[in-house]
Amino acid sequence: RTVYVNGSFVPEDEATVSVFDRGFLFADGVYEVTSVLDGKLVDFAGHCGRLRRSLGELQMTLETTDEELLAIHRKLVSENAIEEGLVYLQVTRGAADRDFVFPPEDTPATLVLFTQAKSLIDSDLANRGQKIFTVEDQRWTRCDIKTVQLLYPSLAKMEAKSRGGDDAWLVRDGLVTEGSSNNAYIVLGDGTIVTRDLSNLILHGITRRAVLECARHLQMKVVERPFTVDEAIGAVEAFSTSASGFVCPVIAIDDNRIGTGEPGPVAGKLREVYIAEMR
């Protein structure tokens, strides 16, 4: 694979980052994951906009412009012949002597990008539906910033896996926030789609925004509010959204079957319409 690091396109085994990089020492960095369908980037503008917001919230500066970021994405997609998959981008505050105080303003950010070829449309998980386990949300309260501080979500997902599940839904004060790396939704008996409202407690998903727009176009009723685990267990359907999973049905929560225990029609329709709109 060809990867990008600080201005150069290099074979992956020749790419290097300093041991003093603040991403490595302090998780002082932000990232984006953009999907690729038919060799084309999905909602690049959305991901770029959120990247700028994450950078701003952490007072981090990146000299590279949006146009340059787009060109880097496109070059990696074509060099690595990615028809379907993901582009990962990470920006850190750069390399500096280890100090909790930020390094001088002129310290260049570290910019790394790489691709991952992956079958996204024909996904095993989407076909069979996910089994979810709920885990306490012990993350910090700036989940709206897409930082590389992913240890807790990783632990939560491992906890779900150890119980025979596919992923974790995180719960704060009795209310579901989101999945370990996706936004969470339930469908009520009257067809209403419920998903947590935007705040500092969840990531403002780029897929979430597009999928909610699809739902509204399809005349589906959408309510953005918190929901409890019990409400989720009693729902007729549940699903998650993310750049890597698109719309992915949930068939069980904490060993309780959701609806029929099969991927539901609302998730199925939204997945189909989202993919059709985006490709």
- Tell me the catalytic residues: 146
Whose Cβ is closer to ligand PDD: residue 92's or residue 244's?
Answer: 244
**CA separation for the pair 6, 24 (Å, rounded):** 16
Check residue 206 for interaction with ligand PDD (CB under 6 A). Answer: yes
Specify which residues 132 forms β-bridges with.
Answer: 167, 253
Among 36, 42, 120, 203, binds ligand PDD (CB under 6 A): 203
Stretch that binds ligand PDD, among 113-121, 192-200, 206-214, 228-236 (CB under 6 A): 206-214
Whose Cβ is closer to ligand PDD: residue 33's or residue 233's?
Answer: 33
> Are 129 and 250 contacting, i.e. CB atoms less than 8 angstroms apart?
yes
Could you give the 3-state DSSP secondary structure of residue 228? strand
Binding positions for ligand PDD, 57-116, rule CB under 6 A:
none
| Minimum CB–partner distance for residue 191 and ligand PDD (Å) | 23
Among 94, 205, 259, 264, binds ligand PDD (CB under 6 A): 205
Q: Helix 44-57 vs helix 206-217: angle between axes, to the nearest 10 degrees?
A: 130
Non-local (6+) Cβ contacts of 229 within 8 A are: 134, 169, 171, 174, 176, 253, 254
**Quick count: other Cβ atoms within 10 Å of Cβ 93?**
25
Among 208, 237, 250, 274, binds ligand PDD (CB under 6 A): 208
Binding positions for ligand PDD, 170-199, rule CB under 6 A:
178, 181-183
| φ, ψ at 75 (rounded to 5°) | -65, -40
Whose Cβ is closer to ligand PDD: residue 15's or residue 148's?
Answer: 148
Number of alpha carbons in the 13 Å side-chain half-sphere of residue 16:
4
**CA separation for the pair 62, 55 (Å, rounded):** 8
Of the candidates 187, 184, 165, 172, the one whose C-alpha atom is nearest the C-alpha of residue 236 is 187
Whose Cβ is closer to ligand PDD: residue 34's or residue 80's?
Answer: 34
| Minimum CB–partner distance for residue 222 and ligand PDD (Å) | 16
Binding positions for ligand PDD, 28-47, rule CB under 6 A:
33
Which string of x and - marks every residue 214-253 that binds ligand PDD (by CB under 6 A)?
---------------------------xxxx---------
Residues making contact with ligand PDD (CB under 6 A): 33, 178, 181-183, 203, 205-208, 241-244
